[in-house]
Amino acid sequence: MDRTEIRFAGFGGQGVILAGMILGRAASIYENLQATLIQSFGPEARGGACSAQVIISPEVIYYPYIERSDILVLMSQEASRLYAGTVRQGGTILFEEDLVDADTLPEGVRALGVPATRIAEELRRKMILNIVMVGFFTAVSETVSKDACARAVRSSVPRGTEHLNMRAFEKGYRHGLDQLE
């Protein structure tokens, strides 16, 4: 595995930072890789722009900021407006298909959508859309193993919600596998 630069972006309240933390935990604790996380919030507590920059590498990471992401995860149209142009040519954009207009995504990238909010609502908990996105990411990116990411989800979510979050992760993962077929 080479160094992989990832940005999760959306708005406050979607669990963007937790998604980045789960991915970094999966890589560093359960895959024995190096990982960094830089988080950015808008001035609002909820609803403002929010992003998490994650770098995963088998080697030491000396600079934790990314300029051009290899993988960009977009969870809102505003995030798309701010960050869609920052993905590397030939990179991958994963997007919440009900909240991001696919027609506004740049050419020259692989773009895959998932109805993460709808899936989360089917599970009766809209706020777990971030875990659906983590499952989707895990399936289509092959950055960290399914086992490592599942373990990171279980150890990162509030006690008593593990079962629900694992169902969300599995649904996102299965949707990702379907996208690859």
Q: What pLDDT was estimated at residue 142?
A: 86
* CATH code: domain of residue 17: 3.40.920.10
Q: What pLDDT was estimated at residue 49?
A: 79
Question: Could you give the C-alpha distances from 69 to 66, 74, 90, 144, in angstroms and in order?
Answer: 6, 12, 10, 16
Closest CA to 63 of 17, 142, 21, 5: 5
Segment 13-17 mean pLDDT:
89
Q: What burial letters (b/e) apply to 134-166, b meaning 16+ CB within 10 Å?
A: bbbbbbbbebbebebbbbbbeebbeeeeeebbb
Interval 35-74: pLDDT, tens: 999 998 765 555 677 999 999 999 999 999 998 999 999 9
Query: What percent of the chain has a predicted confidence (pLDDT) above 70?
Result: 96
Q: Is residue 77's pLDDT more than 70?
A: yes
Ramachandran class of 13: left when φ > 0, alpha when ψ lies in -120 to 50, beta otherwise: left
Q: What pLDDT was estimated at residue 35?
A: 97
CB 73 within 8 A of CB 52: no
Write down the residue that tokens 């929010």 correspond to: 50
Quote the domain boundaries for residue 15.
4-180
Q: What pLDDT was estimated at residue 149?
A: 97
CB 117 within 8 A of CB 99: yes
Segment 166-173 mean pLDDT:
97
Mode of pairing for the β-strands spanning 4-11 and 49-57:
antiparallel
- Rounded Cα–Cα distance for residues 171 and 162 (Å): 14
Interval 79-119: pLDDT, tens: 999 999 999 999 999 999 999 999 999 999 999 999 999 99
Q: What pLDDT was estimated at residue 47?
A: 63
Q: How many domains does the chain have?
A: 1
- In a 13 Å sphere around the CA of 58, the CA atoms on its Cβ side amount to 3
CA dihedral 73, 180, 89, 149 (to 10 degrees): 40
- Rounded Cα–Cα distance for residues 38 and 91 (Å): 20
Give pTM, 2 decimals. 0.93
- E runs forming strands in 103-177: 110-114
Q: What pLDDT was estimated at residue 18?
A: 95
Q: What pLDDT was estimated at residue 58?
A: 96
Q: Is residue 15's pLDDT more than 80?
A: yes
The alpha carbon of 159 is separated from its chain's Cα centroid by a whole number of angstroms, namely: 22
